Structure 1
Amino acid sequence: MSNGTQRLLNPNPNPERVLKIPVKKTDPVELYRPLRNLVATRYSESDAQKVENVLETLNKCRKDIVERFGDLSFSMQRDCLIHYFKCLCMVDPLFTAVSSDAGSDPITFFWYDAFLPEHEDGVSSQRNSIQLEKADVLFNLGAVCSQIGASCDHNTALGRHLAMDAFNAAAKFFFKLWKDFAKGVSATLDLTLVFAEALHSLFSAQASELKLQQQLHDDNNYNNAVASPALQQHRIAVSFESIFKHYQRAGDLIFGDSAAIKHVCSFDETWIPHLRQKKKYFQVQAHQTRSSILPESQIPETFSLLQYYPLGHDAESVTEKLIGGICSHAVLWRAKREGIYLDLILSEYSPFKIMDGGKLVANPWDMPPPYPTNFAIRSSSFPSHILAFPLKKTEPLDLYGTLRNCFVFKYSESVAERVEGLLQMLNKLRSEMLRDDLSLPVRRDCLLHYFKCLCMIEPLFLMTDLPNPPIFVWYDAFNPQQKSSQHHIHFEKASVLFNLGALCTQIAISCDLTTIQGHRLAKDALNDASHWFFILPLEAKKVSATIDLSVNCARMLHDIISAQIADLEWNFPHSRPDRSSLPVTLLYQKAYALLTSGPENLVPSSIPQYLEEKMKTCAVETAPTDVTEQFLSGYCMAQSVIRKSCLPPCLDLHSEVGPIMIKDGNFVINLRGSIGRIGGDELPRDVSNMTIN
């Protein structure tokens, strides 16, 4: 770092201070009884029984928000609000029915302004409107995330990382509030479009400022390891420019509205001078560093996230590397198309469930997993519609001892002791992959969590650099007599990705395609399989392995799955596809062409025979839509709002119901969930309180 750049950093006004906002308060309201009566009246008593658990959970969530919200930790407040928002979106159609029914009992929500703690002002929703309720819940999600970010220790890399994710999540919640949910809502001043956009800009600025602090910390301590001096200067200049624009927009929105200025000053009179100082400081720095911004032709197209987490040997650096492994690989284990039905039926970590007969269950938001599943292997009426792929087999391997020695070799004995619980969990998960008696849901959760653990440890070391690296042995899924033995962690990850995809095809073939539930689960499973086989070449091309892990084979299997998805969509009347735009036959022909152009021993003869027979489609009959389908439609909408952009993977570690969490600034392996007890066996010793200081 040059002295000139160092001078630019002083004085940053109030570098330790970050702004946060309080949550909005609300008055109690009874939701269960009027909504259940409405379902029974407009649909039937049996329909009311199908959804009454969701209505009970909805009512409990809101009661908790009113009566005990302040006694909860920030992470539990966040979990409660997310759970409640999903329930709200599920019952949204009922409120539409209530508002159009003059004879129904009104449901009126009343909320107070967050910036007026004495409840001097409030506003009720329009008669039976749910829009104000959803807008206020999103506001509170942003507020809680702002408090999480403010509570983190900004003097450590891990604390800055968590705070950065928290402020980014807050910014995205306020962005959705500004763009979608606050429009047309008659509300208090804090919920207006001006405030929603201003808060979005404010928390974007604070997240970017923390990112800049981390960049400067990395560049000062790992100057040569991160990037060239020119690239360092470029990144810092871009950061100054971005932060200034965010603070400028937040300030312009508030400073340009006298009512907004008065409102903010009544809450905290130091906000206005703080925003002005920040805006002025970053404006000057952006101007002085603008000449350091490189033209696009000189900027690398991609940067490995590892560049931003330089390797050190202290405990904090190792912790940061583990967290960075999750964040940098999230694109791999988070499918682009959310498998809503997969989670609702299969995942032991999803509190929302579809049971037999279409009954919906919403387990309490504060109940930790595992949650029961009732998925059973069914005999499909049309088994020829879907082709299942076999799983790869592997040899047993003691990962715990090998990796623990690696940590001692690369770091120290004390660091190895601090990550011992994680290594035991990793070893446990791999051992379970050898079992043949696991149910499909448990096997799926096992593979997913093992893959995440592999992503966590990957940035810490290369297996081939170690004195006694672990040797992974995997057999070809289609030709079990062929095997490959390698040290590369990419070989292990590629094999797990293959099994995730193959397992999803087995889930799909076990579904009853004569029902809406089974049809949608099969399509979700195939979409999930498509994702795993799409990203498989990213790992497989880094190693030379068995033919089933080759790029050509992965592409061929991906094409088969794409054709099967189109086949299901074609034959599902409720999806209303443009059938002329679904060239199902051509998709099968594309897979067949890729198969025949590859090696003769690419796959056994069953796949070519299957493709040859799939040049036509078969229609299926499905049950009519009902109230359950309307609830599920709302759930899908909630997932699209919350999950895709507002739940960064690092911030997920704040949740107290997950298998891995950050608690009181420590990295904790949480064994309350099923992942520590697969098959009924505990880990070798109790490490639920294992921490990294």
Structure 2
Amino acid sequence: MNNNDRVLSIPLKKTDPVELYLPLRKLVASKYSESDAQKVESVLQTLNKCRRDMVEPRADLSLPMQRDCLLHYFKCLSMVESLFTSLSSDADPILFVWYDAFNPDHQDGVSSQRSAIQLEKAAVVFNLGAIYSQIAASCDRTTALGRHLAMEAFKVAANFFLQLWQVFAKDVVATLDLTLVFAEFLQRLFSAQASELELREELNNNDASYALQQHRCALSFISVYKLYRRAYALIPTDSAARKHVRSFDPTWVTHLYQKKRFFEAEARQRQSSILPESERPGVYSKVESCALDHDAECIPEILVRGICCRPSKKHKLMYGERKRTRKQRYIDLNLSEYNPFKMMKYGKLVAYPWDMPPPYPTDSAILSSSLSSSSSDILAFIPLKKSEPLNLYESLRSYFVLKYSESVAERVDGLLEMLHKLRNEMLRDDLSLPLRRDCLMRYYKCLCMIEPVFPMNASPNPPIFVWYNAINPQQHSSQHNIHLEKASVLFNLGALCTYIALSCDLTTVQGRRLAMDALKDASYWFHQLAMFESRKASGTIDVSRYYIHVLDFQFLDLELKFRVPQPDEPSLSGYPVSAYYPSTSGPPLAYDPSSDVTQQFVLGYSNAHSLLQGVCEIPAPCLDLLSEVSPVKIKDGNLVANAATLEGTKFGIGEHELAGDTTTVALP
């Protein structure tokens, strides 16, 4: 495809410093109490630190680290957002001043109105889109891995500007770069660049018939042309926008015009390749396990793509009515070692600095020391699956050396090292419930990365997975099939979350919320198992769809038992739980979210987490491999184990206890 390989990226907006900790802490103390201010002061301190690092970025911050800082700040900002509506007229104003990103002289900075947090959030969303555009432009697009990362980063940048255009920039009086027309332009621009990179991958893809490949490419050329046409139309037709872009970089308009003309000509030339509706095969692909027959240079990219697999359109239609998502409000705030925001005893919130590597200490005080007697039936029904130990590192590394070379094996050595470590740890019965859950989740992610390697037909010593039936341990399945491994891990994740739910202290609102979140998490993992792995695993009956269907009825009963009003249900404020849910066991629990500052913060966190998950994590999970806190990182095109988080997999029970709060529950 003979076209200009240049891609466009944008600078970050600049801002003036502002003190947030002292006025916000004073506000919490006056509106709630001094003890409430102490509960949330860690979040306020981290908010202040994030903004300081954002205003005056350190020289040692890489683009991914700047991104991590912005993401952390956005979550903190969302947590305190409700406080800005509480500022009284006689309080000292908190003014945010931002400058136009495309004006290098920083003239005509715009100041927010009194307590107007909308400008701050809009500017941060802009900068998140900008930093992802810079990450994309910095990728080495001469390699398969670099092109893939650039494509995913441009998609996320476009998603942020879509949010800016449709949500955050509305009713914000600001500089030209935050206007709706400019936000829409940037969304179209980065969508076009992402689609162009995806088209380049499509042109190199030979896994389909000639007719189908030509059909796909024709549709892609038309799609890219329409995106560039719309982006170009938004600038020259708006005199202020055109002048603004030309003052920043006069070649932008010419670049967009050339892109539009090129893709328009290519789209017209290829239009005849579009197949009639009756002749079109299923063009929606899904990742299947297959032997790697690609060039050695592409291997890291193929493994990275493993965590980006999506269900086919057929699956989406089939299971559309049962779509489930993980909102992760309370379970990760309490139990995850890798979430930097924590809810501790008595509602205290702790925010670990964005640049502090995990793992972080957990507080499992809301778990009971023993499982309640009322849970015995379900526990007997969902025991954990057991497996035989396996040295995955040796077999997988030998495969890469044999099929490719020692240098290729070295490029993926970090992933294989982490994979082997996590598998050993997940089999330990002496781990606490939270630690084991974290280990299973991280191991499953690594399994998704190596899935394209299977079946390892070229290996003289392929790994054999041995799993025992959870219902009848006398039966087992021994296979080379990675889907048996993935199905078993998903099963154990679901079962483990039921143990967490049933071991919570139901005499507290926090314990009930955690129990409900754990049950939803369990239902999610079993749902994933039934949808994507059961039909491929062909193992023991406990991973069959029939068994998972039976479990669904158990979850319905348990959800009624643990139900508690959520912070977004203000109509129940101040009333005991049992008054609205007579089936709820335990004493009545008062609930008044408006008088609980920690719950206001948690609700803000939840909203931010859901938004960022939809914008960043769901469309491009592989970009987490660029982060300094990822257990497996991409460095110079290689997959390396992060030394800090690799140490964190040494899950010694005494290493992360908090004054004896971490609970270990014996599992059957």
Under a length normalisation based on structure 1, what TM-score does the superposition of the two structures give? Answer: 0.85
Alignment of 1:30-429 (within 5 A): 30-68=19-57, 71-98=60-87, 101-218=88-205, 223=206, 226-301=207-282, 303-306=284-287, 311-328=292-309, 336-376=325-365, 377-378=367-368, 384=374, 387-388=378-379, 389-429=382-422
Query: Does the CA contact (< 8 Å) of 2:291 and 2:455 recur in 1?
Result: no
Q: How far is 1:477 from its partner?
A: 1.4
**Cα gap change, 1:207 to 1:42, in 2 (>3 Å):** same
Quote the sequence identity (%): 62
Q: Secondary structure at the match of 1:678?
A: coil
Q: Distance in 1 between matches of 2:427 and 2:67?
A: 37
Query: Does the CA contact (< 8 Å) of 1:659 and 1:675 recur in 2?
Result: no
Q: Distance in 1 between matches of 2:279 and 2:373?
A: 54
**Stretch deviating more after TM superposition (442-451 or 536-545):** 536-545
Q: How far is 1:41 from its partner?
A: 0.3
Query: Does the CA contact (< 8 Å) of 1:318 and 1:460 recur in 2?
Result: no
**Cα gap change, 1:340 to 1:285, in 2 (>3 Å):** same
Q: Distance in 1 between matches of 2:287 and 2:558?
A: 38
Letter in 2 for 1:237: A
Q: Distance in 2 between matches of 1:488 and 1:578?
A: 51
Residues 19-54 of structure 1 show CA distances to partners (whole Å, capped at 9, x for unaligned) of: 110000000000000000000001101110000110
**Cα gap change, 1:650 to 1:116, in 2 (>3 Å):** same
1:496 corresponds in structure 2 to 489
Q: Secondary structure at the match of 2:626?
A: coil
Q: How far is 1:574 from its partner?
A: 5.9
Letter in 2 for 1:293: I
**Stretch deviating more after TM superposition (187-196 or 61-70):** 61-70
Query: Does the CA contact (< 8 Å) of 1:75 and 1:655 recur in 2?
Result: yes
RMSD: 2.7
1:651 paired residue among 623, 632, 644: 623
Residues 210-256 of structure 1 show CA distances to partners (whole Å, capped at 9, x for unaligned) of: 111112223xxxx3xx1011111111111111111111111111111
Q: How far is 1:172 from its partner?
A: 0.2
Q: Distance in 2 between matches of 1:149 and 1:143?
A: 10
Q: Distance in 2 between matches of 1:309 and 1:245?
A: 35
Q: Secondary structure at the match of 1:630?
A: helix
Query: Does the CA contact (< 8 Å) of 2:330 and 2:513 recur in 1?
Result: yes
Q: Distance in 1 between matches of 2:652 and 2:430?
A: 12
2:588 paired residue among 621, 625, 634: 621
2:539 corresponds in structure 1 to 545
2:605 paired residue among 619, 635, 657: 635
Q: How far is 1:74 from its partner?
A: 0.6
Q: Distance in 1 between matches of 2:156 and 2:649?
A: 32
Q: How far is 1:109 from its partner?
A: 0.2
Letter in 2 for 1:639: H
**Cα gap change, 1:502 to 1:92, in 2 (>3 Å):** same
Q: How far is 1:567 from its partner?
A: 4.2
Residues 122-179 of structure 1 show CA distances to partners (whole Å, capped at 9, x for unaligned) of: 1000111100000000000000001011111111111100000110010000000000
1:686 corresponds in structure 2 to none
Q: Secondary structure at the match of 1:340?
A: coil
Letter in 2 for 1:336: T
**Cα gap change, 1:574 to 1:427, in 2 (>3 Å):** closer
Q: Distance in 1 between matches of 2:438 and 2:585?
A: 32
Q: Secondary structure at the match of 2:536?
A: coil
Query: Does the CA contact (< 8 Å) of 2:290 and 2:455 recur in 1?
Result: no
Q: How far is 1:441 from its partner?
A: 1.6
**Cα gap change, 1:662 to 1:119, in 2 (>3 Å):** same
Q: Distance in 2 between matches of 1:541 and 1:631?
A: 42
**Stretch deviating more after TM superposition (622-631 or 138-147):** 622-631
Residues 488-515 of structure 1 show CA distances to partners (whole Å, capped at 9, x for unaligned) of: 1111111111100000001111112232
- Structure 2 gap ranges (5+): 316-322, 573-580, 654-668
**Cα gap change, 1:383 to 1:358, in 2 (>3 Å):** farther
1:606 corresponds in structure 2 to none
Query: Does the CA contact (< 8 Å) of 1:446 and 1:675 recur in 2?
Result: no
Query: Does the CA contact (< 8 Å) of 2:340 and 2:353 recur in 1?
Result: yes
Number of aligned pairs? 626
Residues 454-511 of structure 1 show CA distances to partners (whole Å, capped at 9, x for unaligned) of: 1111102314664332222212212222222222111111111110000000111111
Q: Distance in 2 between matches of 1:511 and 1:623?
A: 18
Under a length normalisation based on structure 2, what TM-score does the superposition of the two structures give? Answer: 0.89
Query: Does the CA contact (< 8 Å) of 2:74 and 2:121 recur in 1?
Result: yes
Q: Distance in 2 between matches of 1:574 and 1:660?
A: 36
- Does residue 679 (structure 1) correspond to residue 668 (structure 2)? The answer is no
Residues 566-595 of structure 1 show CA distances to partners (whole Å, capped at 9, x for unaligned) of: 4433x547665999xxxxxxxxxxxxxxxx
**Cα gap change, 1:110 to 1:192, in 2 (>3 Å):** same
Letter in 2 for 1:286: A
Q: Distance in 2 between matches of 1:302 and 1:566?
A: 42
- Structure 1 gap ranges (5+): 1-8, 580-613, 682-693
2:575 corresponds in structure 1 to none
Q: How far is 1:545 from its partner?
A: 2.0
Q: Secondary structure at the match of 2:327?
A: coil
1:431 paired residue among 424, 430, 436: 424
Q: Distance in 2 between matches of 1:110 and 1:76?
A: 24
Q: How far is 1:621 from its partner?
A: 2.4
**Cα gap change, 1:480 to 1:658, in 2 (>3 Å):** same
Q: Secondary structure at the match of 1:212?
A: helix
